[in-house]
Structure 1
């Protein structure tokens, strides 16, 4: 999971959301009306949902990657807080995320755990908070460990440690190292066009959370141990030119 910035919707779509949200709010049976509008209303199906998906695709990492696993292509507009739990948020733009069918239909479904003490949501919304503050990625193992209750719930509900993701992250870690080495060679040769292309390719790969975690962990107090036997890679991750070239994802490491 990687931090994402939410962008504004087209004005027409925002107006539709406001209109349909008001209809749900005033309905006697809010859940029934919300489900009817979202699933069967012609305008919602042909105009609203496609625009939501396209806008979320612009926000997503890589080529419209799922905002939960970061591996598969996002194919569904997911209600972060499910309609079954809170129909009033059915047409709330801040409640829409892009998800793949595996995360959406097989893992998350209508699950939405809350803190037993204060009732706050326990799932991570990558458009609202930095996942790196709640999840630690073991780069060698390819698996996540929780740094908070939110991290623990998110690993469980989103299935972030399913075997295919663990295997993919290990490969993504090796791939990221190759990209960093290729970028360095191009940069030192003065080939800025190739260097820029390598940056774009690196961030567009599946599981971009691996690259973000690598930059983040380079500033960890135990970085030497975390990158044991990879001194050259750690030096690249700490290099100011590298971090500037790779942008905001690299800059997150400074908050450790």
Structure 2
């Protein structure tokens, strides 16, 4: 998981969403009312999806796993928990069907004070709560929020772990190639590739750790990459 930047929605879109929220409120503000309104909201959903596609990494990747194509508009705070947030723009993220329907579903764990225990990549840096071990492809939790996020989204499911391992090998190879030839196309391909969390985890490595993990040529390439692209 990596941060995504949420743009301000156009005023016309916000007004459209607000009208739908008013309808949900006047029809009872229940989960059933919100879901019914969401099902028939073709135009609002199209506007939301367009905005989310612009936010998403690469080829419209899921904002949670960064592996699969983002097919679903996910309500970060589920409709079952907060019906009146069904049309709230800050509550929408792009997700794949596995993360959204097979794993997260209506889960919204909170701590004793009522604070959400899921990382919202549009509102905070996931690296504050999650540590990706790039060579193993495995996420470790740094905080209770990180632990809940790993569990709810299934971030350590076997296919994702294997995908990140493969991405680690490919990323190191592409970094070496980019370092040797300086191709802008190669750099862009790396930045847009699946499992962007692998590249981001490498960018955050201490130089000494990077040298031990990657070896000389790849570590040199990473150091140059940091100077050119890392934020």
Q: TM-score, normalised by structure 1?
A: 0.85
Deviation of 1:35 after TM superposition, in Å, equals 1.2
Is 1:168 equivalent to 2:163 in the alignment?
Answer: yes
Question: What root-mean-square deviation, in Å, do the aligned CA atoms of Structure 1 and Structure 2 show?
Answer: 1.7
Of 174, 177, 191, which residue of structure 2 is paired with 1:179?
A: 174
Map 1:10-25 onto structure 2 (within 5 A): 10-25=10-25
Of 90, 95, 99, which residue of structure 2 is paired with 1:94?
A: 90
Deviation of 1:197 after TM superposition, in Å, equals 1.3
The answer for unaligned runs of 5 or more in structure 2 is: none
User: In structure 2, what is the equivalent of residue 202 of structure 1?
Assistant: 190
Map 1:31-180 onto structure 2 (within 5 A): 31-39=31-39, 41=40, 44-45=41-42, 47-116=43-112, 118-180=113-175
8 Å CA contact 2:24, 2:84 repeated in 1? yes
Higher RCO (CA < 8 A, seq sep 6+): 2
Of 204, 209, 217, which residue of structure 2 is paired with 1:223?
A: 209
The answer for unaligned runs of 5 or more in structure 1 is: 188-194, 252-256
Runs of 4+ in 1 over 4 A off after TM superposition: none
Q: Secondary structure at the match of 2:49?
A: helix
Q: TM-score, normalised by structure 2?
A: 0.94
